[in-house]
Structure formats: structure tokens, C-alpha cells
Amino acid sequence: MLLILSVILVALVFEYINGFHDTANSIATVVATKVLSPRQAVFMAAVTNLTGALMGAAVASTIGKGLVDIKFVTSLTILCGLTGGIIWNLITWWRGLPSSSSHALIGGLVGSTLAAADGDWSVIKFYSPGGGGLVPKVVIPMFTSPIIGLLIGFLVMAILYVTFRHARPRTVNRIFGRAQLLSSCWMGFSHGLNDAQKTMGIIALALVAATSSGAFEHLPGFLHFLRTPTPEAGQALYVAPWIKVVCALTMAAGTYAGGWRIIKTLGHKMVKLYPVHGFAAETTAAAIIGVASHWGIPLSTTHVISSAIMGVGAAKNVRAVKWFVVERMLWAWVFTIPVTGCLGYVLVRLVH
């Protein structure tokens, strides 16, 4: 029982770190364009992330039962996977690199499960019936979503340039200063809808593993809500309302703590932004993340908003984007899953 509670606690620590690590996803542009002050932007992001986190559970189900064989998942496996993800998130946050918390969590879980199965790669669901599995749900979107974000961001910004080519800069800034408030709220909601659900899925998966192992057989009556039976084949993972509420509040608290190092990278170092650019980037990213959440794809919100900012900047002028900063980010993106997978694998082996 103590181990189960430890898993839930570490999962919430990951969710809190996810909140301040990925705050920049929803507010970097609105801070950079000075539409809101940093504290106002963080508060807005906390509220919208909280609202989005309470809606839906498709992504949680993908994380909980769509990537690895849950027969090999134990509380210890989950604990080690989460720890690997936390280590990588803290390293990239300290370096100011907007890496993917989603991929850190997935890599840690896959690596730890592989170690628990003694290196049997069949426990990883690379493909599943109905279009699920690691490759279609994670690997392909990992490469396609940044490309889509860049291209759509470029296109949206180009359309706005043509539409407002005769407008005075002051008028454009006034219009999109107000419009960016809406796009930032949409981005925050989409971030909560996708990112918070990943930890929900991990906690639900831990409770399924504990219930299956008989760890909850002698629970007192007031703790029966922890029992979570294994879902049948083809059935979505059940995420209890209390899990949604706790994860949503934890992410909101982490978001309010801020993530100024990453905000500085996205909002100031990569390209100089004005309200119209922030609106275009946020609208692009929020739409892509919303579609992915509907289909249960645990998308990297970091990859999408970063690439949308690149596309918007490139539409302004290809030289306006500081590509050496982009190069540093790309290396962090590439290494996230392999590094966290190795961390999860090694931690399980060490414990054994």
C-alpha cells in the first residue's frame, strides 16, 4: 500500500513539474508581446489548464493501456518510469530547453516496462488494432506535428500579412492584442486537455496494477475508491473523477509557479514577436493539439507551439528566426525518449 501511495505522490510531482516546465507553451508569446504581464499570464494559464484538464480522457487511456502490455506493469515499474521522466524534465528546465514532458513520461514508462519484462521487446505495443500503439500514437506524431505546426503557422501568418497589409501597425497591434487573449486561453485549455491527461493515465494504470496484484484486498471501506479493475480488450481505461480533479489542480499549481527559463527561450530568444505573431502561433498550436486530444494522441505541446512560432517567424523573414536556438531545441527533442527510456530501464535494473 505504501508503494502505491508513493507512485501516486511521484506522479503528482511529475504533474507539478510538467505544469511549470510547460507553462511557456501557453503564455510565452503573450508575455513576449506584452499583452499580459508575466503574473497575469501565469494566472490565466493556470485557470485554463485546470479547465482543460477536467475535460475528456482519451489521451489518458492511450497512456494507461495503449503503449505497453499492462501485465508487466507494476507500481515499481511506474515509479521508475516517472523518476526517469522527472530527472530529464529538471535537466532541460535548468538548461532552459523546451523539451517534451509527454515524451519524457512515455520514454520512462516504456524503458521501465522493458526492464521489468527482462528485455522482451514484445511488451511494447508498437502497433495495436484500430490504429493504436507507440508508432502511430507517439513516434509518427513526434515528427509530423512540428512540421504541420511550422507549415500552418507560416500559412496563417502569411494570410494575416495579406489581409492587413494596408492597416496601420498601431491598429494591428490593438486588434491582435485583444485577439491574443482569446488565443492564449484556447492554447492553455488545449494544453490542459492533452498534457494533464498523461499523468491521469499513469495513476489509473498504477491502480489497475495494484488491484490486479491483490494489493487492495484488505482496504478499509473509505479507501475502496482506489480499486480499479483491468479494462476489457477494446475498452477504454477508466479514469475516476477524483484522479482528474487532483491532477488538474496539481498541474494548475505547477503552472502558477511559472517556468521563466523556458518562457525566455520561446518568447524572446527564438524570434521577436508582436501580438499578431502571438495570435497566429497560439491559434495554430491550439487547433492542432485539440484535434490530437480528440483522437487520444499524447502530442508534445512543446513541439507544436515551438514549431508554430518558427513558422510565424519564417513568414516574417526566414532570417528573423534564430536557428541556432532552434538547433539546441531539436537535440533536446530527439534525445528525450531515448534518454528517459534508458533512465527508466536502468532504474528498474538497479532496484532489482
pLDDT digit string (tens) for 210-241? Answer: 888 777 777 777 777 777 777 666 566 687 88
- 268 vs 273: CA distance, rounded Å: 8
Cell numbers for 2, please give them. 505504501
pLDDT digit string (tens) for 53-103? Answer: 788 667 777 776 678 888 888 888 999 999 999 999 888 878 777 778 888
CB 258 within 8 A of CB 26: no
Q: Cβ of 214: how many Cβ atoms within 10 Å? A: 8
pLDDT digit string (tens) for 166-199? Answer: 899 889 989 998 899 899 899 889 888 887 777 8
- The 3-state DSSP class for residue 68 equals strand
pLDDT at 128: 79
pLDDT at 233: 60
Block residue for cell numbers 508554430: 308
- 209 vs 229: CA distance, rounded Å: 9
CB 38 within 8 A of CB 291: no
- The amino acid occupying position 294 is H
pLDDT at 237: 66
pLDDT digit string (tens) for 24-34? Answer: 667 777 877 78
pLDDT digit string (tens) for 288-306? Answer: 999 988 888 888 887 888 8
Question: Is the pLDDT score of 153 beyond 60?
Answer: yes
pLDDT band at 23, cuts 50/70/90?
Answer: low
DSSP 135: I
Compute CA distances 305 → 27, 92, 107, 126, 174, whole Å. Answer: 10, 17, 21, 26, 23
